Amino acid sequence: MKTPITWTTRPLGELLQVQNGFAFASDRFTKEGGIRLIRIRDLKSGTDTETRYDGPFDDDFLVNAGDLLIGMDGEFKCYQWKGQPALLNQRVCRLRGFESEIIPEFVLFGINAHLKVIEDNTPFVTVRHLSAKSINKINFSYPLLNEQTRIVGRIRECFSHVEEINSLNDSACADTQHLPQAFRYDLWNECNDTNKAVELGNVAASVKNGLYKPKKFYGSGSLFIRMFNINGGQMVFDKEARVQASDSELTQYALQAGDILVSRVNSRELVGKSAVVSPLPEPAVFEAMIMRLRVDKAKVLPSFLSALMNAPQFLHSLRQRAKHAIGQSSINQGDLLSSLIPLPPMRSQSRWVEEFSAFQAAALPLHQECISQAQHAIGLKEAILRKAFAGEL
């Protein structure tokens, strides 16, 4: 990073102290009670922790709001803690003991570019590891205190404008995601007003729960469709899973274009989500947390039925039948097949499918543009920091 020649450059170890976290006893970890325990996974939110600790501790490892923390495994990045007092666990370090000539917030904004260089140049087999020694060796450049204060203020001002843009873009993204669901809502109401309701079982050719395999069979073999491949009423393949399946299992749990996959075990708000299977690039099987619904195509078009099954009205009715346990809900084949759907004639179904396809085709570019703008906002923050530490802000 090129900085102004008038700035001072010193190793960070001469400007601050790096405190490594403590290896608190895991048998005293708890979900409730005790004090918050900061682990790497908690740094990004910076406000709360998944785990708490109910054992004795040294106050020297107590983190307070405003402290700067760095995760030492995986992604090397500095965050500012904003939550309640919490304990500094192992593999997280804290920057403290700042010399009077450096402002902590100036370090917060400037250190991540250096950490990224270290990360990119750290060899690894599974996960990258960062050491306090590497942090201490960083040659960090900084101006006089009054200029540090001015630069920090400008960065925060610019970031505020970026966050305002992000907020507007997030709202637009949410609207584009809700458009298909609004269409399904109207579809259900119109079909329900003019057609007789039938049990879903009347249009089903078969229904089958998916394949259960122990984890030792995961990682290679046949394409394995799992719950995360069902999203927003569509099949998505941004994540891929594979499983070793026998020839018999490949036959029993095979998927065909037009099958409808239904999440049968999930959280309360996601159980029952479904998607129609599009042509797959290779043979695939599906996991036990999913049901495969194969329909009688002489009675209903799979794409039309999938749209109905993802309508809020259908999902609400189906979820009322679900069995609920702590953190998990489930439906069975009987719950699904006895659910009522309005069934218009095939010609009306075809018309609805064409309209829905055109609607989705129009909505998709809007959603992709929102995602692109979100990525652009990330780039804006990085550009702001580059200008700030080049003395150009």
Tens-place pLDDT, residues 231-283: 878 888 878 899 999 999 999 999 999 999 999 999 989 999 999 998 988 99
Q: Write out pLDDT tens, residues 10-30.
A: 999 999 999 999 999 999 999
Instruction: Write the CB contacts of 122 (distance below 8 Å, at least 6 apart in sequence).
Output: 76, 128, 129, 130
For Cα atoms 17, 19, 24, give the angle at the middle one, nearest 5 degrees. Answer: 170
For Cα atoms 139, 142, 146, give the angle at the middle one, nearest 5 degrees. Answer: 165
pLDDT of residue 356: 84
Mean pLDDT of 80-86: 96
pLDDT of residue 236: 86
pLDDT of residue 163: 86
**Is it the case that residue 170 has pLDDT exceeding 80?**
no
Q: Write out pLDDT tens, residues 206-225.
A: 999 999 999 899 999 999 99
**Is it the case that residue 374 has pLDDT exceeding 80?**
no
- Mean pLDDT score of the chain, rounded to an integer? 91
What is the C-alpha to C-alpha distance for residues 76 and 71, in angstroms, rounded to an integer?
6
pLDDT of residue 344: 95
Complete DSSP assignment for 224-254: EE-GGGEETTEE--SS--EE---HHHHHHT-
pLDDT band at 179 (very low <50, low <70, confident <90, very high): confident
**Is it the case that residue 229 has pLDDT exceeding 70?**
yes
Q: Tell me the percentage of the chain whose pLDDT exceeds 90.
A: 75
pLDDT of residue 2: 81
**Is it the case that residue 175 has pLDDT exceeding 70?**
no
pLDDT band at 345 (very low <50, low <70, confident <90, very high): very high
* Token couple for 321: 């039948």
pLDDT of residue 182: 83
Q: Tell me the percentage of the chain whose pLDDT exceeds 70.
A: 95
| β pairing state of 86-88 and 35-38 | parallel
Q: In what order do the strands lie in the sheet with 242-243?
A: 242-243, 218-225, 284-286
Mean pLDDT of 335-355: 94
Phi, psi of 81 (to 5 degrees): -70, 135
**Is it the case that residue 82 has pLDDT exceeding 70?**
yes
46, burial (CB in 10 Å: exposed 0-12, middle 13-18, buried 19+): middle
Domains and CATH numbers, the chain: 10-113+126-137 (3.90.220.20), 196-343 (3.90.220.20)
pLDDT of residue 366: 67
Mean pLDDT of 28-37: 92
pLDDT of residue 240: 85
For Cα atoms 147, 47, 138, give the angle at the middle one, nearest 5 degrees. Answer: 45
Q: Write out pLDDT tens, residues 86-144.
A: 999 999 999 999 999 999 999 999 999 999 999 999 887 677 899 999 999 999 999 99
Instruction: Write the CB contacts of 331 (distance below 8 Å, at least 6 apart in sequence).
Output: 262, 264, 271, 272, 318, 319, 321, 322, 323
User: What is the rounded radius of gyration, in angstroms, for the C-alpha atoms of the chain?
Assistant: 27
Complete DSSP assignment for 1-57: ----TTSEEEEGGGT-EEEEPB---GGGEESSSSEEEE-GGGTTT-S--SEEE-S--
**Is it the case that residue 324 has pLDDT exceeding 90?**
no
pLDDT band at 381 (very low <50, low <70, confident <90, very high): confident
Mean pLDDT of 71-78: 93
pLDDT of residue 322: 94
pLDDT of residue 123: 84
**Is it the case that residue 38 has pLDDT exceeding 70?**
yes
* Token couple for 367: 């959603």
